[in-house]
């Protein structure tokens, strides 16, 4: 644990609460406009957040009937935000299952250049099965196949990013030599799934490599994250669960030969902030009253695989439904455990459970004053559960503005968060070192042998 | 032919002249910086150009030893430029051979939203054979296979773009209905090469569809362009050749049931502009003296398939080498014809031929005063060879600034070019109508039948 925590703004069209777009304070009519996202990113940048983050599923589901989903593609959106900001990191989600490595390597390398070293890639294998049909697959690959592809994909992409030595561009006007091609290395990757020669047509990214982010919660996901990820998004309800996850990931990382400080763990937090505890609860109630139970039940099923009945909204959730993981997917099982914990501890009615999940889909929800939110953040940070937080405002832009104007100053007073940026790249914000190129040794050997 | 011509700025790192980066007026050290491209785009926008355009080959060749190639990926670059401009169109090149249609459909739909309707897609099948090895292919597909894929690819992508009816987003806060899923249509594409269900997760682009641009010069390329393209980039040395191409494309288009005005034909023009004819020639000479013959010979071979000898630089080009197209590819044959015409008419030395091609790779090169450049543009425009021009400044940023400050005012005086933008989308700039969704009829039938 470093002495300073990290804050990431998880951008979600009208806000993370599933009914945010219906609330009069939000602006769902702007969610396809660049200006709207520039405004959100500038709010986060003015508060010296480490990064903004955009999630992605390359498919549209009928959830769009109920919520402001379906929108801009993250990489292009963040390239636009890059031009409207100057310091904040930019983390885009993209799927290793549904991209070609050469295409994705150049998109992210280009984003890193366009932002002068502020790009991050949230590496996902895509959980949603409906995506397969958009890419000509009859069946969505199972997790084992997806992670095998993701591992080789990362191997290819990092080889491509590493290809240009730092001094490959010699720019010698006198002799007419632009680059020294001896210092540009092909990937020459030949693996079970990919054959990629390279080199990449984009010079080495300013950060060496864009920051690799991951959010796998399954056993395979954790193992993948511990091996490759430099920042991790995760979802926990209780400090003890956050601590267990944190310890597990850092332990796994050391087994891959990595230092614990090389991975920044950022649990999600969804804050409803009020001047008083009562005002905060009232604000949350306003949003919960706008939820559509049919939609909440559908989201619960998507999240956990458990289908509850609308007719029994005000009856207690049947406990036994959450004891058996059944044939849900590996990833759904991890979120199912989070929800099962809520059901077991709080014994909610179905309606209450839906409201508990409406804001943050199983992430930590804190409703209270700015002090209470800051207290929770400090508690998790000081007790080995978090290196910072992935902030998920229940509504945009107001929820982020409240966090920036109320919570961030408290974190600064407590010496937990920077007053201003001290670095200029996302790696510098997160305290991550610049990766050494895998061709660096090779060049050294050549030079020594020459 | 409309009464107003169109101008597109073909952005190329240090300029189109192959030695531009060596000239003291250029800024090759900035070619990976967003700011540099923002500046170029703003210069073009201040002059009310229709669009900026970025070419692309997803591979790096050893040409990088001699020239400032290898750079930013076009779609991300244009997303960045979109945020730094407000009116100018943004045309990115992307390959149907090496992308998945769902991925590319959403990247361009997103770019169109981010720019509020200024996106264009230069559809290429990729000629360069070295690309195949970056995507796991042993052999680059032949032109027939590439165009078959391109046709089906466009069918899929336009289905995806058409999927959301204009009124699909109902945004009814009162009832909690965000979108009417009856008005969002899956692509349900099942073809020989692609199975894509959809719908796209990005709402219908502001332009309905981004503008489709093409540059195919082969017989297959022309046929494809006449069927799908709304703007065409092309290369000719002489008015008569431009006229023949123009007539051929418009004729082919009518055979596909399209109006000639639905395709805007933009030959390339590379202008060296001086206060006097002598000054312009002196400027061109400065650049030509910076060329590296070995590199020029290599480019000539890449362009035409013909390999000339460095030892014979000051001897006449052997005519017979350009009589036989031999086993060059179909696309190279079209450019070979352009070069063969130069050889036949001008009987140049090898060095002179290399200099003739150094600025514009076979495109029309005009060296002279602003009046002479404007005269050529007017002549081609008034005589059925062009609806406008793809301006290829031999050096950036100065070559574009000269064109904007010297040539554009003359074109305005002659009533040939707009004094300011009259529309806000690329379609409006180019005089193209907004495409009707292929699902519009279906919706109409449903409504009528209800």
Do A202 and B62 lie within an 8 Å CB cutoff? no
Do A201 and B176 lie within an 8 Å CB cutoff? no
B349-368 pLDDT, tens digit each? 999 999 999 988 889 999 99
Query: pLDDT grade, residue A191 (50/70/90)?
Result: very high
Q: Please give the pLDDT value at position B216.
A: 79
For chain B, what percent of residues have pLDDT higher than 70?
Answer: 95
Task: Output the CA torsion sign for A316, A322, A324, A325.
Answer: positive
Check whether A35 has a pLDDT greater than 90: yes
Phi then psi for residue B385, to 5 deg, are: -115, -10
| Cα–Cα distance for residue pair A209/A434, rounded to 1 Å | 8
Check whether B444 has a pLDDT greater than 50: no
Tell me the nearest-neighbour CA distance from A356 into chain B, angstroms.
Answer: 19
The partner residues of B213 in beta bridges, in order of sequence, read B122, B231
Length of chain B: 450
Do A133 and B202 lie within an 8 Å CB cutoff? no
A104-157 pLDDT, tens digit each? 999 999 999 999 999 999 999 998 889 999 999 989 999 999 999 999 999 999
Here the tokens at position A202 are 């984009």
Tell me the nearest-neighbour CA distance from A398 into chain B, angstroms.
Answer: 18
Query: pLDDT grade, residue B135 (50/70/90)?
Result: very high
Integer-rounded Cα Rg, in Å, for chain B is 22
Check whether B432 has a pLDDT greater than 80: yes
Cβ–Cβ under 8 Å, residues A406 and A377:
no
Tell me if chain B has a CB within 8 Å of the CB of A177: yes
- A137-146, B51-60, B371-380: the lowest-pLDDT one: A137-146
Q: What mean pLDDT is predicted for residues A357-369?
A: 92
Mutation target for A interface from B13, B32, B57, B86: give the one with most A CBs within 10 A. B32
Q: Please give the pLDDT value at position A447.
A: 43
First and final C-alpha spacing in chain A:
44
Tell me if chain A has a CB within 8 Å of the CB of B328: no
Check whether B68 has a pLDDT greater than 90: yes
Mean of pLDDT over chain B = 93
Q: Please give the pLDDT value at position B86.
A: 98
Tell me the nearest-neighbour CA distance from B25 into chain A, angstroms.
Answer: 12
Mean of pLDDT over chain A = 93
Place of tokens 């355009």: B53
Here the tokens at position A47 are 């508060």
Q: Please give the pLDDT value at position A85.
A: 98
Cβ–Cβ under 8 Å, residues A214 and A266:
no
Do A22 and B111 lie within an 8 Å CB cutoff? no
Q: What mean pLDDT is predicted for residues A6-27?
A: 97
Q: Shortest CB distance from B76 goes to which of A79, A134, A200?
A: A79
- A76-90, A324-338, B148-162, B199-213: the lowest-pLDDT one: A324-338
Check whether A384 has a pLDDT greater than 60: yes
Query: pLDDT grade, residue A354 (50/70/90)?
Result: very high
Between the alpha carbon of residue B450 and those of residues B186, B351, B437, B443, the distances in Å are 21, 73, 20, 10
Q: Please give the pLDDT value at position B217.
A: 82
Nearest CA among A356, A420, A411 for reference residue A388:
A411
Residues 6+ apart with CB under 8 A from B314: B349, B350, B351
DSSP codes of every residue in B87-120: SSEEEEEEESSSS-HHHHHHHHHHHHHHTTS-EE
Q: Please give the pLDDT value at position B335.
A: 82
Geometric angle at alpha carbon A432, from A431 and A436, rounded to 5°:
150
Do B58 and A106 lie within an 8 Å CB cutoff? yes
User: Domains of chain B, with CATH numbers?
Assistant: 6-290+362-449 (3.20.20.30)
| Cα–Cα distance for residue pair A23/A67, rounded to 1 Å | 12
Q: Please give the pLDDT value at position B330.
A: 58
Query: pLDDT grade, residue B449 (50/70/90)?
Result: very low
Q: Shortest CB distance from A72 goes to which of B84, B114, B199?
A: B114
Query: Residues of A with CB below 8 A from B180's CB?
Result: 65
The partner residues of A6 in beta bridges, in order of sequence, read A388
Q: Please give the pLDDT value at position A330.
A: 58
| Cα–Cα distance for residue pair B185/B171, rounded to 1 Å | 18
Residues 6+ apart with CB under 8 A from B78: B52, B54, B90, B91, B92, B111, B115, B119
DSSP 8-class letter at B349: B
Q: Please give the pLDDT value at position A127.
A: 84
Do B178 and A21 lie within an 8 Å CB cutoff? yes
| Cα–Cα distance for residue pair B159/B437, rounded to 1 Å | 8
Check whether A449 has a pLDDT greater than 70: no
Between the alpha carbon of residue B363 and those of residues B70, B108, B328, B407, the distances in Å are 22, 28, 19, 18
| Cα–Cα distance for residue pair A53/A37, rounded to 1 Å | 11
Q: Shortest CB distance from A136 goes to which of B110, B114, B194?
A: B194
> Quick one: which H or E segment has residue A272?
strand A264-273
Residues 6+ apart with CB under 8 A from A306: A300, A321, A322, A336, A339
Tell me if chain B has a CB within 8 Å of the CB of A86: no
Between the alpha carbon of residue B281 and those of residues B292, B353, B366, the distances in Å are 19, 16, 10
Do A82 and B295 lie within an 8 Å CB cutoff? no
Q: What mean pLDDT is predicted for residues B149-173?
A: 97
Q: Please give the pLDDT value at position A442.
A: 64
Do B70 and A102 lie within an 8 Å CB cutoff? no
Place of tokens 């050529």: B376
For B82, the closest chain A residue by CA position comes to A80
Where does residue B190 rank: exposed (0-12), middle (13-18), buried (19+ CB within 10 A)? exposed
Q: What mean pLDDT is predicted for residues B395-404?
A: 98
Q: How many CA atoms, within 13 angstroms, populate the side-chain half-sphere of residue B430?
A: 34
Check whether A298 has a pLDDT greater than 50: yes
- A399-408, B112-121, B131-140: the lowest-pLDDT one: B131-140
Greatest CA span in chain B, whole angstroms? 81
Q: Please give the pLDDT value at position B1.
A: 53
DSSP codes of every residue in A191-231: -SS-EE----SSPPPTTSSPEEEE---SHHHHHHHHHH-SE
Here the tokens at position B397 are 């940023």
DSSP codes of every residue in B135-196: GT-SSPPPHHHHHHHHHHHHHHHHHHHHSB-TT-EEEETTTTEEE-GGGB----EE-SS-EE
B262-316 pLDDT, tens digit each? 999 999 999 999 999 999 999 999 999 999 999 999 999 988 889 998 889 999 9
Tell me if chain A has a CB within 8 Å of the CB of B312: no
Cβ–Cβ under 8 Å, residues B166 and B204:
yes
């Amino acid at each position: 644990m470093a002495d300073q925590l990290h804050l990431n703004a998880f951008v979600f069209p009208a806000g993370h609460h599933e009914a945010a777009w219906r609330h009069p304070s939000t602006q769902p009519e702007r969610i396809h406009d660049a200006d709207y996202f520039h405004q959100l990113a500038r709010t986060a940048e003015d508060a010296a957040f480490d990064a903004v983050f955009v999630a992605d599923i390359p498919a549209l589901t009928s959830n769009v009937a109920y919520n402001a989903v379906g929108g801009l593609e993250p990489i292009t959106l963040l390239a636009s935000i890059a031009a409207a900001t100057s310091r904040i990191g930019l983390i885009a989600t993209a799927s290793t299952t549904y991209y070609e490595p050469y295409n994705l390597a150049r998109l992210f390398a280009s984003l890193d250049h366009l932002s002068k070293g502020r790009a991050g890639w949230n590496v996902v294998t895509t959980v949603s099965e409906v995506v397969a049909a958009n890419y000509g697959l009859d069946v969505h690959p199972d997790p084992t196949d997806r992670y095998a592809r993701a591992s080789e994909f990362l191997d290819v992409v990092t080889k491509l990013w590493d290809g240009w030595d730092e001094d490959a561009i010699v720019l010698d006007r006198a002799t007419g030599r632009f680059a020294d091609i001896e210092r540009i290395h092909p990937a020459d990757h030949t693996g079970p799934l990919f054959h990629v020669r390279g080199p990449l047509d984009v010079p080495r990214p300013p950060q060496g490599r864009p920051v690799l982010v991951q959010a796998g919660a399954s056993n395979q996901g954790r193992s993948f994250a511990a091996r490759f990820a430099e920042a991790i998004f995760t979802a926990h309800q209780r400090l003890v669960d956050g601590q267990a996850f944190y310890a597990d990931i850092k332990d796994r990382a050391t087994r891959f030969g990595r230092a614990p400080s090389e991975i920044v763990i950022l649990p999600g937090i969804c804050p409803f902030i009020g001047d008083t505890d009562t005002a905060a609860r009232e604000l949350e109630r306003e949003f919960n009253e706008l939820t559509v139970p049919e939609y909440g039940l559908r989201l619960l099923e998507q999240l956990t695989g458990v289908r509850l009945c609308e007719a029994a909204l005000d009856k207690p959730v049947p406990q036994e439904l959450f004891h058996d993981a059944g044939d849900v997917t590996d990833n759904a099982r991890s979120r199912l455990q989070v929800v099962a914990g809520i059901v077991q501890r709080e014994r909610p009615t179905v309606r209450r459970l839906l409201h508990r999940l409406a804001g943050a889909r199983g992430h930590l929800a804190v409703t209270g004053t700015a002090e209470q939110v800051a207290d929770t953040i400090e508690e998790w940070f000081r007790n080995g559960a978090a290196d910072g937080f992935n902030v998920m405002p229940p509504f945009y832009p107001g929820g982020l503005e409240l966090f920036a104007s109320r919570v961030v100053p408290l974190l600064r007073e407590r010496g937990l968060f920077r007053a201003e940026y001290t670095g200029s790249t996302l790696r510098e914000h997160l305290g991550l070192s610049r990766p050494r190129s895998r061709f660096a040794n090779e060049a050294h050997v050549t030079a020594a042998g020459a």
